[in-house]
Structure 1
Amino acid sequence: MSENNIKVFIIDDEYLERSLLKQCINWESLGMEIVGEASNANEGIKLIDELKPDIVFTDIKMPGIDGIEFSEFILKKHPSLIIIVLTGYNDFNYAQKSVKLGIFDFLLKPIDENEVLNTAKKVKSYIEVKKKEKKELEDLKKQLYENLPYLKERFLNELITSNLPESSINERLEFFKLHLKNENFQIAAIEIANSADLNEESRLIQNFKVSNYVKSYFKKLKNIIVFSDQMNRIIILSNDEKIDLYKICMRLKNKINKELDCTLNIGIGNIKENIGEVRTSYMEAIDALNYHIAVGNNNIIHYRDVQFKESKSESDTMHLLNELKFYLKSGLEDDAINTVKEVFSLIDVKSENALKLIHVSALNIISVCFSVSLELKENFDDIYLSEINTYNKIVNIETLPEMIEFLSSIVINTIKAVNKEQISNINNLIDDVKKFIEENLSDSNLSLSFVAKHFYLNPSYLSRTFKKETGINFIEYLTNKRMEKAISLIKEKNMKSFEIANAVGIQDPNYFSSCFKKYTGLNVSEYKKLIKNTV
C-alpha cells in the first residue's frame, strides 16, 4: 500500500453491493485503495477509528443506525472525512436533506460505474486541492514560526509607536506568549555613543554585542522584554513594579562600560498605568535619550529630571552673537564664554534636529571669532586655513559639553590675539581715547565704561592702561579736561554756572561747582571776578 494513496472505506449491509462498488472501477489507477469494509454502522465506526480512511461510501438504509445518523456521528469525530451516501431512488430526496451535515455527494442505486468513476475523480481532485492547501498552510505556518522573533519585534515596535486598540494588543500578546500584567509599564531606551565613528559592519556588530548582553542580563526577569526599535536603539520594556528601572540601568551601564568597553546613553520614560500608554513612556524615553546632547555621553537621563525649553527666535541668537563680538574685542573672556553657553541654551535639545541646530550655532560662533581675528594684523591665509579645519572638527562633535569646551578654547585664543594686538597699538589707542574725550566733553554719558565700549575695551583694562600711559587715572583726566573747558568758556562767554556745567557734560550744577572749586580753589563767581579784575 502506497502512503500517498487515497484510502477508501465502504459500509453497506449487502455484500453484493460492497463487491460491486469495489470492482466497478480501477481504484488503483486513480491513486486510491479500498482499505476496509463493514456491513453496518457500528462496525464501520470501530474500523474507521483504526484505519483512518479519507473517503467513506455508506448506504443510507442499514439495520440499527442508518447512513444519515452514522454520517452525523462520524463527522463530529472526523470532520475532514469525505462521506458519499449510497441511496435508492425513493430515498434520494431524504438523503438530499442531509447536505447540511457535510455529506460530500450522493450515488443512486443501482450503482453505475461511470457515476462511480466521475464521483471518484471529483473526490480525488477535491482531496488533492485540500492537500495542496494543507501543505501551503503548513509551509506558511513553518515560515511564520521561523519568522516569529522578527514578527514579535515588529509587534513590539507597533506597541511603542502606534495607537493600537487594547483588544488587538491583548490578542497579540497571547499569540507571542508575552505574559504582561495589566499595570506598571515603563520604557528605557539605550543608544551606543559615538558608534557613528565606526564603519557599518563594526557598528552593527557592536550593537548586536550590546543587545545580546542586555537580553542576557534581563533573561531571568520574565516581566522585562528587550528588543530593538526601528532606529536600532535597544529598548527595555519593564512590567515589574518591584524593579527600579533607573537603578538597574545604572548597574547595567557600569557593567557594559567595564566588560564591553562601550559607552552608552540611556533615556528612561515615566511609569504608566496601562499598556495603552506604553507609547507615551517610549516617546518620553527617546526625548530623555536625546537630551544627552546637552549633558554629554555615558549618562542615564530620566524624563522627569529634564527641563525642556522652547527654541527662541533667530533675533535672540543674533543679539547674543553681537554681544559675543563685543566681548571678544573687549577681551572679556568670562563674558564671552558665558555668551557662547547662552547661545546654546536657546536650543530645544529634545528637538529631532537638536544636533544640527547645535552645529549651526557653533558655526555661527566660529564665524564671529574669525571675523574678529580678520580685523587684526594677522595673516589672512593662516586664518582662512584655521577656520576650515575648525569647521571640519565641529561637524564631528556630538554633545553640547564637548562643543562648549571646544568653542571656549577658540574664544580664549581669539581674545589672546585681540589683547596682543591691543597692546601693540596702545599708544595710538590712548591718543584716540584722548581725542574722543576732547570731542565728546559735552556728552553727559561720557564715562570710563562709555569710552571702553566705544573702543571695544575692558573698562578695567582701559583704566589700568590709561593711568600707566598718562600717569593719571581716567576720571581725574576727564574731570580736568572738563574744568579746562569750563575755564575757557568763562573767559570767552558770559554764561551762567548751570549753562557751563551742561556745556562740559555735567548735569548736576552742585557737582560741577564742587569739581570747579576743587580744581581752581575758587567757586565760579569768585573765578569770574578774578578774571574780570585781572582784565
Structure 2
Amino acid sequence: MNSLNILIVDDDRFVVSALEQKINWTSLGIQQIYTAYNIRQAKKIFEETTIHILLSDIEMPQGSGLELLAWIRSEGFNVQAIYLTNFADFNYAQKAIELQSFDYYLKPIEFDKLEFIIKKAVNKVKLSQIKENAIKVGQYWQHNKEELVEHFWHNYLENNDTLAREEIQEQLRIKNINYSLNDCFLPLLLDFFPYKLIDNKGIISIFDKENNFHNKLKSIMMETFKNDSIRLDGVLKSSTTKDEYLAIFKLTDNAFEASSRDLISSCNQLIATINNQLKCDVQCSIGTSNPLNKIQAAVKALQVARKETIDFRNTIFCFETYNTNVNNYVEPNLQLLEHRLEDGNRLSFINKCYQYLTNLLDKNALSHHVLCCFRIDMTQLIYTHLKKKEILANKLFQGKISDLLLEQSSRSIDDLMIYISYLVDVSLDYMEFTNSQKSVVNTIRDYIDQNYQENITRTSLAQIVYLSPDYIARFFKKETGISLVNYIIKKRVDIAKDLLTNTNLPIHSISDKVGYENYSYFTKLFKKETNYTPIEFRKMVYSKSETS
C-alpha cells in the first residue's frame, strides 16, 4: 500500500503546530505532514507533491478553504477533505457537501474525536487505492489477454503443419485462453493498397505516414462489427507482406450462421470507414465459419481463393461464391492495340485495355493467371514498340517505381491499369523527347561536359538516354557534324589546354584530370588535336606571355 500524505492549512500557526504535535500520525498510517498558512502556499504544495488528505480551516484572510477545495476539484486531484471551523454556518456546510468534502468539524478541537475522523478518511483513501490498483491490474490483464489471444492465433495459423486437437488444447491451456474445439470462428482477409503513384515520378505509402495503423484498424473494426453476432478476437498482420491483415471473429452463438447479407453490409461500411479515416483502399474477403480445429485449413483456402480472384479495389469477395473453374487466356486484339501505340493515342490504348479486363470480369472469366498473361502481352507490346524506336526499354523502366508497380500489378484491375498506364505514359513521353533529336544531343553534350574525366563510352551514354549505342552514335554525328568519340576527345583536350595555360599542375596530373590514366596515350591524342605535345604547348604559352 502506498504511504499517505496530509496537508494542514490554517492561518493560525498555533493551531497548525498543535495538530502536528498532538495527533499520532504514525498510527494512522500518515508518513508525511505538510503545512500551509494560506491558499497560495497550499496550491503550490499540491502542484509539487501528492496529497491524500486535506485538513483545512474555512475562514482565512487570503481566501477560504472552500475556494481551495473548488480549485482542487477543478484540477482533478483525488483528495479527502476535512474542514475545521469556528462557525456553525449552514451555507458553509452545504458548500462543503457540494464540493464532496469528507467531513466538517466544529472547533474547539477535541483531538481524539478529530483523530477518529482522520482515521475514517485514511481508510477511505486506502479503499480508493485498492480500487484503482484493481482497475489497473484489470486493464493490464485485459491488454495482456488480447496479446495472448493474438499470439495464439498467429502461431496456430502460421504453422505449416496441421495441429491435432490435443495440440490445440495444450496451446489453449498454456495461454489460459477460454476456447473450446467446438467454438466457431470466421476469418476475414483484408488486402490493403497503400501505395500512390505521383506524376509517374515517385510513390508514397500510407504506411510511411501512419504510425499506429494496426491499433487504428482494430478500433475501426470493433466499432464496425459491434452490432453483429460475432466478436472480434484478433487482427493479425501477415508475416509475408505488410499489405495484408487477417481478422478472426468468434461466433457468439454457435447455432448462429453468419448472414452473408449482414456481413457484406458491415464490410461495405468497413471499406468506407478505412477509405475515409485511413486514406487507403482495401479489399475484404469473407471466409466461412468453422470450428476451431478446422479454421487453419479454412484460412489457407481463403488466402488461395483470394489470390486467384481478381476484382477492383474496395470490393468484397465471399468464399462461398468462389468459382474453382480454370479460365483460359484469350488474347485481345493485339494488332489494334499496336496501332494505338504507333499513333501515340494513349487514351484509346488504355481504354481498350480497361474494356478487355472488365468484359472478362463480367463473364467471370478473369483470374490471376489470365491477368498475368494479359500483363505479359501488354508489356511485350510496349517493349517491342520501344525497340523499333531503338529505345532500351529495360533501361527506361529500371528502378524502384517500375519494380513496385510491377509487383502490385497482379493484385487488382486497378493496379494493373496503373502499371499499364505508367508504361504507356513513360514510353510515349520519352518517344516525344527522342523525336526531338536536339534534346537528346543536348542531354549527351551536357553529360560529357560534366563528366569528361570519367570513362565515357557509347554504351554508357546510351544507358543515360535509354537508346541503343549505334543509334545515338548515328544521330549525334548527324546533328553535330562530329562523332561522339571525337567530341569527347575535343572536350578533354580543351580542358587540358586550359589547365596547361592557367595552372602549374604536372602534366601527368592533368592527364588524370581529363580522363586519361595513360600519359603516353594522352600525349599522342593531344598532339594529334593541337600539333603540339603538352610540354611544347605549355612552353609556347609561357613564351607568348613573356614577350607580351
TM bucket, shorter chain = 0.3 to 0.5
Q: Which has the greater radius of gyration?
A: 1
TM-score by length of 1: 0.37
